[in-house]
Amino acid sequence: MAHDEPSITYSPAAPPDDAPKPAGRRETAAVRGRNPDLTRRQILQAAREEFCESGFDGARVDRIAERAKANKRLLYHYFGNKEALYCAVLSEAYREIRHGETALHLDAFEPEEAMDRLVRFTFRHFLDKPWFVRLLTTENLQNARFLRTLPEVRDLHSPLVGQIQKLIERGARKGTFRANVDPVQLYISIAALGYFYVSNQQTLSTIFDKDLGDFARIQEREAHAVDMVLSYLRTKPR
Amino acid sequence: MAHDEPSITYSPAAPPDDAPKPAGRRETAAVRGRNPDLTRRQILQAAREEFCESGFDGARVDRIAERAKANKRLLYHYFGNKEALYCAVLSEAYREIRHGETALHLDAFEPEEAMDRLVRFTFRHFLDKPWFVRLLTTENLQNARFLRTLPEVRDLHSPLVGQIQKLIERGARKGTFRANVDPVQLYISIAALGYFYVSNQQTLSTIFDKDLGDFARIQEREAHAVDMVLSYLRTKPR
Amino acid sequence: MAHDEPSITYSPAAPPDDAPKPAGRRETAAVRGRNPDLTRRQILQAAREEFCESGFDGARVDRIAERAKANKRLLYHYFGNKEALYCAVLSEAYREIRHGETALHLDAFEPEEAMDRLVRFTFRHFLDKPWFVRLLTTENLQNARFLRTLPEVRDLHSPLVGQIQKLIERGARKGTFRANVDPVQLYISIAALGYFYVSNQQTLSTIFDKDLGDFARIQEREAHAVDMVLSYLRTKPR
Amino acid sequence: MAHDEPSITYSPAAPPDDAPKPAGRRETAAVRGRNPDLTRRQILQAAREEFCESGFDGARVDRIAERAKANKRLLYHYFGNKEALYCAVLSEAYREIRHGETALHLDAFEPEEAMDRLVRFTFRHFLDKPWFVRLLTTENLQNARFLRTLPEVRDLHSPLVGQIQKLIERGARKGTFRANVDPVQLYISIAALGYFYVSNQQTLSTIFDKDLGDFARIQEREAHAVDMVLSYLRTKPR
DNA sequence: CATGAATGAGAATTCATTCAT
DNA sequence: AATGAATGAATTCTCATTCAT
């Protein structure tokens, strides 16, 4: 379920969900020996955690260095400055997220079943990667000023849009889905239904005095989102 | 529509929609004479603009004072410190927003027409008040730590939930809507479909290389959201 | 005369040669009470000392603040940043120096006597104001990049040039001076004969193993410079 | 002529006027293979450029290494630290300059002609070697604290002084020059007339709004300096 | 001999906040 | 009530230098 409190760490850079951290504490650059690649990655990971926890302005370069068990000077050596480091985090985050999105094999399923899976996947994706939600949120608060500067910006859009496109075509041909659905609109809706729940979990939980991170509630939400999307697709416009 | 760029001002605190700004430009405290109330309100308004533009950590007390044409010392006199000022902005913002939500008179319409209006209203609401979206986003990035402290937090939830509740009951009785719809779930979905579009407008526009602020696209989005919600409500679960 | 060692202080801003420092040590801003003008001047003076002693790159903002018994923050409050502070020092220095140059009343003397006085004055000027020599030197090492930005740059040239101009005309009319002397060339030469002795005093003293700061040697030098200039002026080109 | 702007390079260390640079661009230490001598010289040259451009405090060890296409560690290997490297540059610079000053064969000319040549040579010397002027200036700003430490400091004075000495004696005997001229005083004056023009070129050009680097103006200056010196020598004191 | 990674001390600059009037 | 000066604690960034290979 999602994050709760400041002490949470917003997931590592490369081996996020799998690799078990071997020893107790991360080693300093000196201890880990001269391993620039590892150092670089650890800085990146520490930066991601810090930026996701505190936003761009709230993030502290000192804390990033501390988290990475690296010398502050190294951040500047490898990345130039705070902004460039943030950009590296942003770029890397998109790359990682997009990579996770390609693994769905929806062709093997009937359109409805496939769409069910896609909606659930998307929701789970945000749920499992709250750091990504927070990073995107941070970036939007900055009016996407860093994202705009990324050279690869054109390649960053989700492969899900393409998958949705194929799905709605299949469904329309089969007659189970309505025709003329805009895949981008649908993608935005699917994303919205999941993202908002995660991004605004804290205020919503507070206002409604309910813990939206509760497992049952999450399942309920997931079912609701699937229901909504499928209802929409099945309904033929009058 | 919506906001775009730094130069935007995130709407005034109290007299935004009603009170006519008397002269051309805001006056300094000295000029306006000893008018504690006006001063207070101008500080609040300036703070809202600054917090919405820059987030909590990015906001600068100096800039708030400058914007309010007030002495910096006054901020502290009236509000104590930056955090308290932010809390005042947050509280005031919710109050103002909720106030705007009560004006709908949905009883006069058939359930479907009423729901159509409600969805459109919600979407427009976010669209017209991007500062509120940004403020909420900021607060979520802070894990709602300020919202939690507001004494009136219990009274802050949207009156729309109650209206939705009544609507789905009416629709269900009439047979046009499905039964057993959770009004909170539905509220969250309706909010999500609009909020996400506004809150993530910058990154989405960048990634898709389309201006989501474009008028035609907004209308399309609105229709899509209405379609989705009504499709959901009309569809009887199997 | 002249400076010798790092510990020297390169003269105060306003009351340099006259005003006796009243008490033992300069007071902090807090002690001197809220006196922005005085504070500003003390910062400027401290900055001059520091820049003259250490050059632009060698100067330390911390040391300037300490010298001024002012909070470091104030430097930024009043002047913006190190570069701007340096520019203020530079501008002020030229103004002060030029002010000191206007006091000569050469009209009362015969051309030769007047020129004798002018050369001696110029030499003494540099000798008494080694800080100005060092500041100019520093600025030249920076390729005059700060001087160029001063808005009043056009008004900064020495009034001595005008005085020289009048003098050589008077002398030429009287027949004691040669004709067709370029006043700018002559000014540069007069300045050079004094400036170089001061600016390069340290290396010259070291290389020749003689203390150029010695009083007798200074007098000798002064006489030499006068002799050179007058010889030049009296000599009719063949 | 002379230097103007940051982009200038302040001449190579050893092989400036003689040794033909073999290939197009300087090679890295790796490329040039293990050639300690060449590496050393390239570092020295790079250091000179950097120190002359930026002064002692403004110079950056990193930039020196980069300029020398050498590993930073090598600077320390060969020279110990920044100060020692600067000293090496200083010493080498004096040696090179003094070397260039010995080539004059003034005995072949009548005293006046010889002095004309000497003054012109001195002026041209500074003009052609602005890096030396800047280095001296830098050293004076440091109160000659490095020069003092050079063991060979006693041998560093100009051979020109001796030549001047002989010249004024010849001229005095012949009756064309005045008697009792102090050669050191005269040397300082001759140096001053040229040095000041070069060292203060930037501020003078700015203040007078004339480009002192202009060829015609330089020639004028040269003639003026010669005129001044010869006028002085020819004039018999009353 | 040569290298690139790593570092601690210190540099300029910024920030929220308080003091004296 | 209102003000502008003043401050100490951080914050980002830089620099000369050393370590491990």
State the helix-helix crossing angle for C36-58 and D36-58, rounded to 10 degrees: 170
The predicted pLDDT at position C8 comes to 37
Is residue D202 within 8 A of residue C143, CB to CB? The reply is yes
Question: Measuring from the CA of residue C76 to each C1', which nucleotide is nearest?
Answer: E13
Average pLDDT over residues C197-213: 95
Helix ranges (DSSP H) in chain A? 29-32, 36-58, 61-67, 72-79, 82-101, 111-128, 130-141, 159-174, 183-199, 201-208, 215-234
Of C137, C201, C206, the CB nearest to D153: C206
Residue of A nearest to B58 (CA): A57
pLDDT tens-place string over residues D119-139: 999 999 999 999 999 999 999
**Structure-token match 């004691």, residue found:** C176
Measured between alpha carbons, how far is B61 from B43 in angstroms, rounded to an integer?
Answer: 10
Which of C29-33, D4-8, D198-202 has the highest mean predicted lDDT (pLDDT)?
D198-202
The predicted pLDDT at position B209 comes to 92
D157: helix, coil or strand?
Answer: coil
Cβ D220–C138 below 8 Å, yes or no? no
Is residue A26 within 8 A of residue A19, CB to CB? The reply is no
- For residue B86 the two structure tokens come to 């932010």
The predicted pLDDT at position A37 comes to 84
The predicted pLDDT at position B103 comes to 74
Residue closest to sugar C1' of F18 by CA: D73
Residue closest to sugar C1' of F20 by CA: A34
Q: Sort out which chain C residues have CB atoms less than 8 A from D154's CB and list them.
A: 209
Neighbouring residues of C196: CB distance < 8 A, sequence distance ≥ 6: D188, D191, D192, D195, D196
pLDDT of D178 > 60? The answer is yes
pLDDT tens-place string over residues C68-104: 999 899 999 999 999 999 999 999 999 999 888 887 8
- Predicted confidence band of residue D39 (pLDDT cuts 50, 70, 90): confident
- Work out the mean pLDDT of chain A and round it to a whole number: 86
Residue closest to sugar C1' of F21 by CA: A34
- Work out the mean pLDDT of chain C and round it to a whole number: 86
Ranges B146-150, C212-216, C234-238: which has the least confidence: C234-238
Average pLDDT over residues D149-173: 91
Q: Name which residue leads in pLDDT, D84 or B11.
A: D84
The predicted pLDDT at position B55 comes to 96
Residue of C nearest to D149 (CA): C206
Measured between alpha carbons, how far is B118 from B110 in angstroms, rounded to an integer?
Answer: 12
pLDDT tens-place string over residues C99-123: 888 878 899 999 999 999 999 999 9
Look at residues B84, B59, B66 and name the one whose alpha carbon lies nearest to residue B29. Answer: B66
Q: Name which residue leads in pLDDT, D153 or D193.
A: D193
Q: Chain E: nucleotides under 7 Å from a protein CB?
A: 1-21
Is residue C184 within 8 A of residue D208, CB to CB? The reply is yes
Mutant choice from A5, A165, A231 vs B, greatest count of B C-beta within 10 A: A231
A157: helix, coil or strand?
Answer: coil
Residue B20, Cβ density class (10 Å: 0-12 exposed, 13-18 middle, ≥19 buried): exposed
**Structure-token match 């012109």, residue found:** D120
The predicted pLDDT at position D27 comes to 53
Measured between alpha carbons, how far is C40 from B210 in angstroms, rounded to an integer?
Answer: 53
pLDDT tens-place string over residues B84-101: 999 999 999 999 988 888
pTM value is 0.85
Average pLDDT over residues C131-150: 96
pLDDT tens-place string over residues A27-83: 555 455 567 788 899 999 999 999 999 999 999 999 999 999 998 999 999 999 999
Q: Chain F: nucleotides under 7 Å from a protein CB?
A: 1-9, 11-21
Measured between alpha carbons, how far is A32 from D78 in angstroms, rounded to an integer?
Answer: 30
| Subset of residues 53-92 in chain A with CB less than 7 angstroms from any atom in strand F | 59-62, 72-73, 76, 81-83
Domains of chain D, start order: 89-234 (1.10.357.10)
Cβ D206–C157 below 8 Å, yes or no? no
| Subset of residues 91-150 in chain B with CB less than 7 angstroms from any atom in strand F | none
A156, A157, A163, A164: CA torsion to nearest 10 = 170
Cβ A144–B182 below 8 Å, yes or no? no
pLDDT of D25 > 70? The answer is no
**Structure-token match 């917090």, residue found:** B51
Residue closest to sugar C1' of E9 by CA: A73
- Work out the mean pLDDT of chain D and round it to a whole number: 86
The predicted pLDDT at position D24 comes to 40
Average pLDDT over residues D14-19: 36
Is residue A25 within 8 A of residue A56, CB to CB? The reply is no
The predicted pLDDT at position B11 comes to 38
Task: Provide the 8-state DSSP code for C126.
Answer: H
The predicted pLDDT at position B33 comes to 54
Ranges B24-33, B57-66, B147-156: which has the least confidence: B24-33
